[in-house]
Amino acid sequence: MPRKAEKPENSANHWSYEETVSTIEAVIGELESGNLPLAEVLSQFEQAVQSLQQCEAYLAEKQQQVNVLIETLGDS
């Protein structure tokens, strides 16, 4: 059973959305090259999916913060 992706805030303090996206892009490039053995493809793919889940959680949290700020401005 796949591990549940950690939320960015539970990861190391140096987690960066931009760095994670760059890593995902690099993994996609490696996968598209067709030069990796199947086991490595599956491993890289799993890591990319987990990273994407972290990014999605981060963006959802930030969207919620933006919505609260917009609500606050509307109440002024």
Q: What is the mean pLDDT of the chain?
A: 87
Confidence (pTM): 0.73
Is residue 10 over pLDDT 80? no
Is residue 67 over pLDDT 50? yes
Q: Which two tokens stand for residue 32?
A: 């598209």
Rounded distance, CA 3 to CA 16, Å?
Answer: 20
20 contacts: CB under 8 Å, gap ≥ 6: 51, 54, 55
